[in-house]
Structure 1
């Protein structure tokens, strides 16, 4: 397979993994908005199984690319994809954990606790959509924006969820199990955002390296 064809195939695979993660978050957000949580974990698990299968397929394509002659830019892209796979797989894992906690937690808590999930999932979806754009268009600014969203929005909402959970625990100490579950859910969402940010950071480094190589080539030509 030509390096350009493999690059196209790997790009499509990454975009599909991101699309699956978006479907998982949409399921979480939709369940929260409707207050209908039955079957949420099953849906997230089905999507996670697809992610796991896709991860193995993309990994195999990367390994085949490493074994065949290719240019420095193509090889750098393979490395970026290969090292991003674990992060995207972990995104799916954390989305599944959140879905499972929500389904178990919903019958035992007030709507305020559940509604805390909505703002952070919206930002996480925005990060995934922007990451997909950055990958498909090789857009450096978009990759950097993904990372800023993680620092500026997701981390701040994570702290807000923790504070709200502690406040409710003081008000209703008998709900300690619910508070612990809410804390765990907040942490899983925060970690999900971290992994999206890690993929964006790897893409940023790959794009910056490509720009540096092009700059050297132009200087030699002149």
Structure 2
């Protein structure tokens, strides 16, 4: 474990910060800490917010103060090896009707559609944290060949389920929203449902594998989602 810097932000928030560059190892440590905190100190914690190199802990200041919470944190048994993560398969249809930016993206990258799909579905992506929108996963692992600057003029409406690339990241828009990433496909599965516990099907520290599907498979999956029979698939 690295030397972690812990500081009080206000009477209800404590920030844990990890030194060094963004990495898979730091992601695993943050996920292990979050799991241990929620498991052992859940009665004191309101919520934990993970980022690439930090973990913000919102706690009930009427039960504990920052100094005592830090003491409790340092007592926690953190074993990254015992923290189990899962690998999930996420279906994506890369047909042009679901991928508004795919053809111009191909031109910009000087790559064929087939090459882009192959490169995009090859990695096992790491879920570092959720942010921007409820259910929006910040993923690590995009092939450098696919990196592209974000759009200078963002789109007003990106459809829910849009799989996109911006900078050196890829992600899925869980709901319709404005956005400046390049849309190369669409996933038919839900990524955020406030009626479920937890509302997001995947956890920080888990891994995502994109799986290319046909339009027929896409529509079939959409129907399963609508009927409530869809089950998330392990990779």
Larger relative helix fraction: 1
**Greater length-normalized contact order (CA 8 Å, ≥ 6 residues apart):** 1
TM-score bracket, shorter-length normalisation:
under 0.3
Q: If the length of structure 1 is used for normalisation, what is the TM-score?
A: 0.23
Q: If the length of structure 2 is used for normalisation, what is the TM-score?
A: 0.22
Larger relative strand fraction: 2
